[in-house]
Chains A and B, each alone.
Chain A
């Protein structure tokens, strides 16, 4: 009995060794003959499974030797599934990347294969750069959205102020906002959230940065950093409603804009639909910067697993899923976010869709990106500390300088761990 048990254990052990041995043997030779690659995604979860299937079918038709096996994971569980798969070595050949910070972690850990056959002209340059490290491409952008400046043309006309252009700076925005603001009538010139997200972007727009070059300390305690904080805080009560008016609560800014009481609004391109039926004319422009133009851009990426056995086929699919005509058309026809390509002729259906007229600004904004700093394990706490400090200044309980000083000491401690 005992001997049998030991024997069967030994067999099981050898079998396990053989199985893992097989699994880790890398196949370097080029793919010939039919291959099946796997693609794990979260971008199609919910309503876009059918849209993804269309792109997969078109790809398989164009590449009869490659079959794509799609696995969809809910966004809320994607990070856990990705970590488990990477730890166990079972990650799919191609998989979705949840933006810049996910990309940086994956790239630093050597999980991404370098992509060598990418035609960089096809992509929007800012978005493509996001997924580069030391000049080498390790992933590709699949879709994006960004923050732009919305403006109410009727309010500009009534005040006799000319519309925002791509050459505007903070000075122009402030001047226009002051002219249009008429507190007696409840009309405000500007709205921009006083938060960490706006601040790290304003820093880049003013030639400063949130973190030091080595990423270990906060670097906003400079004259440029102070000016960027004042840019946000000083709007409150002069050209922008105050906290007491309800500023900062959910949907306050979009409701004010819809009501025709707000001339300029800094928010994401995802609220176009909210303003479809407003009774006034409106348009968008790339957000003004101070010393340089930079916008907040959010993108999803796609990468090839470094341990994939079919890297060539996998790269083909990653390129197809991020830049092929079929992918672009499916996205534009169904409104499934925006493709990341550069050719505006192919984007015509989107660009000519109606209000806002200047849809080109959405793509122009993505060319100059204010990349979000990588804040490490305490990311959320750092963001919260920054926002809290800015609000202290906005509420007038501290000067902007005091708020920045206390934020810096808190954030330096959080960065140190």
Chain B
């Protein structure tokens, strides 16, 4: 025993010998404490959500017990009895998938044009695109609603989808990515006889995969979580999406917090799966486009 403790301590003592090494160690400890505290702070809301979801009759006014007295998965069952849960998940999935696919197409083609096809007023048009990102949806909602009413698209999926099909953010993200693809590649392809469509499909797209993966995550997440616009446009119960159905559990006076949280946990799962799958690309994509 004694030998072992000496053996463990010995290298540590050696490590402390120089003042620089000591400073480095202290800094490392502080850094780790800060990072772990940050991670715990970020994780706690999720933990609270999960704990609430397995606490029958839970309320949010009291501090949560870390280990619930009588844990139960009953709230997850209630999701299916109190709500057309399978239906709303399917609705949300359809909307999110269509939005994502169409945004990929519109954003990548527009980004290609902004990056590779110089035209007069290009920067002005691009600036206008970016400016639309600064206007919050809340400001646009009434005019947008009236516009769709005129087209007769209220209470339809097309109405819910239309405003989301082109994304200024997506165009910006992909344009930055395409700008980084060396033009020499285009030139080489041109010499080989490739036109714009082939350059776009076979040279540019394979080179901006991280940015595309990032856009998939962002646009899927945006659609999956969107509340305000679907709430306003989709009124028929059979068209409702997940966030709206979950909000329906939160009544004027009474909220079924355990069921709401169970629904929230389920709603996180697809995003979590997508993110784990795309994580490697997302970090690359965000880092290389210079966006934080």
A interface list, Cβ under 8 A from B? 16, 19-20, 40, 42-43, 45-47, 71-77, 80-81, 83-84, 87-90, 98, 145, 250-251, 270, 300
Cβ contacts A to B, 24 pairs, < 8 Å: A16-B150, A19-B150, A40-B235, A43-B252, A45-B249, A46-B82, A47-B82, A47-B256, A71-B236, A73-B231, A74-B248, A74-B250, A77-B247, A80-B231, A81-B231, A84-B145, A87-B142, A88-B145, A88-B146, A88-B149, A89-B149, A98-B252, A250-B61, A270-B253
| Measured CA separation A322–B254 after assembly (Å) | 21
Q: Is the CB of A46 within 8 A of B256?
A: yes
Q: Is the CB of B250 within 8 A of A76?
A: yes
| Measured CA separation A330–B231 after assembly (Å) | 28
In the A-B complex, the 9 residue pairs with the closest CB atoms: A74-B247, A250-B61, A74-B248, A46-B251, A77-B231, A87-B142, A45-B248, A71-B235, A75-B252
A46 CB contacts on chain B under 8 angstroms: 82, 248-251, 254, 256
B248 CB contacts on chain A under 8 angstroms: 45-46, 72, 74
Least distance between A78 CB and chain B CB atoms (Å): 9
Question: Is B98 at the interface (CB under 8 A from chain A)?
Answer: no
* Given A73-B235, A74-B247, residue A87 in contact with residue B145 (CB < 8 A): yes
| Measured CA separation A83–B228 after assembly (Å) | 13
Q: Which residue of A lies closest to B62 (CB)?
A: A250
| Measured CA separation A83–B146 after assembly (Å) | 12
Question: Is B244 at the interface (CB under 8 A from chain A)?
Answer: yes
Question: Is B154 at the interface (CB under 8 A from chain A)?
Answer: yes
Among B61, B228, B249, which residue has its beta carbon within 8 angstroms of that of A80? B228
Q: Is the CB of B237 within 8 A of A72?
A: yes
A88 CB contacts on chain B under 8 angstroms: 142, 145-146, 149
B252 CB contacts on chain A under 8 angstroms: 42-43, 75, 98, 300
Question: Is B152 at the interface (CB under 8 A from chain A)?
Answer: yes
Question: Is B275 at the interface (CB under 8 A from chain A)?
Answer: no
| Measured CA separation A238–B90 after assembly (Å) | 60
Q: Which residue of B lies closest to A71 (CB)?
A: B235
Q: Is the CB of A75 within 8 A of B231?
A: no
Within 8 A of A (CB), among B217-255: 227-228, 231-232, 235-237, 244, 247-254
A40 CB contacts on chain B under 8 angstroms: 235
Q: Is the CB of A76 within 8 A of B150?
A: no
Q: Is the CB of A90 within 8 A of B149?
A: yes
A84 CB contacts on chain B under 8 angstroms: 141-142, 145, 232
B254 CB contacts on chain A under 8 angstroms: 46-47
Within 8 A of A (CB), among B115-142: 141-142
Best-surrounded residue of B82, B152, B251, B254 (most CB of chain A within 10 A): B251
Per-position 1/0 for B28-61, Cβ under 8 A of A: 0000000000000000000000000000000001
| Measured CA separation A236–B150 after assembly (Å) | 60
Best-surrounded residue of B152, B232, B248, B253 (most CB of chain A within 10 A): B248
Least distance between B129 CB and chain A CB atoms (Å): 22
Per-position 1/0 for B60-98, Cβ under 8 A of A: 011000000000000000000010000000000000000
B231 CB contacts on chain A under 8 angstroms: 73-74, 77, 80-81
Q: Is the CB of A74 within 8 A of B244?
A: yes
Q: Which residue of B lies closest to A83 (CB)?
A: B142
| Measured CA separation A289–B204 after assembly (Å) | 78
| Measured CA separation A80–B227 after assembly (Å) | 11
Q: 7 new A-B pairs (CB below 8 Å) besides A46-B82, A72-B248?
A: A20-B150, A46-B249, A46-B250, A74-B231, A74-B250, A77-B227, A89-B149
Q: Which residue of A lies closest to B233 (CB)?
A: A84
Q: Which residue of B lies closest to A42 (CB)?
A: B252
B145 CB contacts on chain A under 8 angstroms: 84, 87-88, 90
Q: Which residue of A lies closest to B60 (CB)?
A: A250
Best-surrounded residue of B61, B145, B152, B236 (most CB of chain A within 10 A): B145
Among A43, A90, A251, which residue has its beta carbon within 8 angstroms of that of B61? A251
Among B142, B227, B232, B251, which residue has its beta carbon within 8 angstroms of that of A75? B251
| Measured CA separation A80–B244 after assembly (Å) | 13
B154 CB contacts on chain A under 8 angstroms: 90
Per-position 1/0 for B149-161, Cβ under 8 A of A: 1101010000000
| Measured CA separation A72–B82 after assembly (Å) | 14
Least distance between B225 CB and chain A CB atoms (Å): 14
| Measured CA separation A83–B248 after assembly (Å) | 19
A251 CB contacts on chain B under 8 angstroms: 61-62
Q: Which residue of B lies closest to A98 (CB)?
A: B252
| Measured CA separation A73–B233 after assembly (Å) | 11
A89 CB contacts on chain B under 8 angstroms: 149
Least distance between B137 CB and chain A CB atoms (Å): 11
Least distance between A80 CB and chain B CB atoms (Å): 7
B152 CB contacts on chain A under 8 angstroms: 19
A16 CB contacts on chain B under 8 angstroms: 150
Within 8 A of A (CB), among B252-270: 252-254, 256
